[in-house]
Structure 1
């Protein structure tokens, strides 16, 4: 009977941590870095500030955990896109790259949170590390997909940087102004680039 109770407590703690992380992402999206503080996060999560301090050493730890959780979420979305593309290497590569132009990656809330993470990655050592790990992982998986399409490992490493920058730029423009060219146009641009480069 005692082990069952401990499992329930652990799940509850995980749920509370997840709730605080989700609230932090929402506050970052709505209010930016300037408006992201313990009071705003706790109000969004519906908890007391003491509960935040129970699960995280402070707001910096919580924001870092939110960046890591958001990066992990994106990884799962991209992996699912590749898995859904079938066995053709070119289709898998295109699915990985163009998932950035489809929901849930195009969620407007994600833009606010992600730009805050990028801003912090310029000055906070922990955020720099999370950013570096996240982008290295994305580029490594992209490199594997490029190699499966016939590029050499050296070519794949260079193309992964180029294509990542292209996708980031298009995603940012699309997130800021969805009317400027649209998601399908972004998909077509990336697919055209891949056809020319790979």
Structure 2
């Protein structure tokens, strides 16, 4: 059997969970290229190199396919920042630094993933599914961010509102994601990180500069 035939044989023998992940990755690719409204199961099947029937076997409707894709993105994002925090020292500045920069790890900060996230954020049809899937995750992240800001404010003697500072840092991070995706001449991922760190420096000048921790 030639190489293409062997590849097809291997794809057909993938375990169910691996097959689902293959379809989810194809869905992310299609959403990035065409948006949510124009994403179809047929196009996902074509992108994955699989039959339409196999997509239906794993996801009986487009809504279920999109829901599974959003859930996978949300879990990937959550695991990414949790791993970054787990690897960081206990110092609140170091932990805040790790949390902010986790958003720019290559495994979560790709053009395709940014496009998919923006589609789920921005298209009205996706808002109920976004809130149902990601609302609790967002609350968990915001609580962690706010808690780290509160700890650093106390440790550094800063006169700041932790909830407001955490919100600004989150909004700036999300804004750089949009910039990386939508600007005609987007800046590099490293510049996006420096932008977020510059914002942190404005609040915590004794702990950060635009290059990172002091």
Q: Same fold judged by TM-score > 0.5?
A: yes
Cα RMSD (Å) of the superposition? 2.7
CA distance 1:141–1:121, change in 2 (3 Å): farther
Higher relative contact order (CA 8 A, sep 6+): 1
* 2:105 is equivalent to residue 105 of structure 1: no
Runs ≥4 in structure 1, deviation > 6 angstroms? none
Hey, what does 1:84 align to over in structure 2? 87
Q: How far apart are the structure 2 equivalents of 1:22 and 1:52?
A: 13
Q: How far apart are the structure 1 equivalents of 2:126 and 2:39?
A: 17
SS at match of 2:108: coil
Q: Deviations over 1:23-52 (max 9, x none)?
A: 111111122224310101111223222222
* 2:46 is equivalent to residue 40 of structure 1: no
> Aligned match of 1:66 in 43, 46, 69?
69
Cα contact 2:31–2:119 (8 A) shared by 1: yes
Larger Rg over CA atoms: 2
* 2:133 is equivalent to residue 133 of structure 1: no
Cα contact 1:122–1:128 (8 A) shared by 2: no
SS at match of 1:106: coil
The number of residues matched between the two structures is 187
Cα contact 2:80–2:102 (8 A) shared by 1: yes
Cα contact 2:115–2:181 (8 A) shared by 1: no
The alpha carbon displacement at 1:189 in A equals: 2.9
> Aligned match of 2:176 in 170, 176, 183?
170
Give me the TM-score of the superposition, normalised by structure 1.
0.79
- Unmatched 5+ stretches in structure 2: 1-13, 155-159, 205-214
Q: Deviations over 1:54-86 (max 9, x none)?
A: 222311111011011101111122222223333
> Aligned match of 1:49 in 40, 47, 52?
52
The alpha carbon displacement at 1:88 in A equals: 2.4
Give me the TM-score of the superposition, normalised by structure 2.
0.74
- Unmatched 5+ stretches in structure 1: 1-10
Which is helix-richer, 1 or 2? 1
Cα contact 2:32–2:112 (8 A) shared by 1: yes
SS at match of 1:101: coil
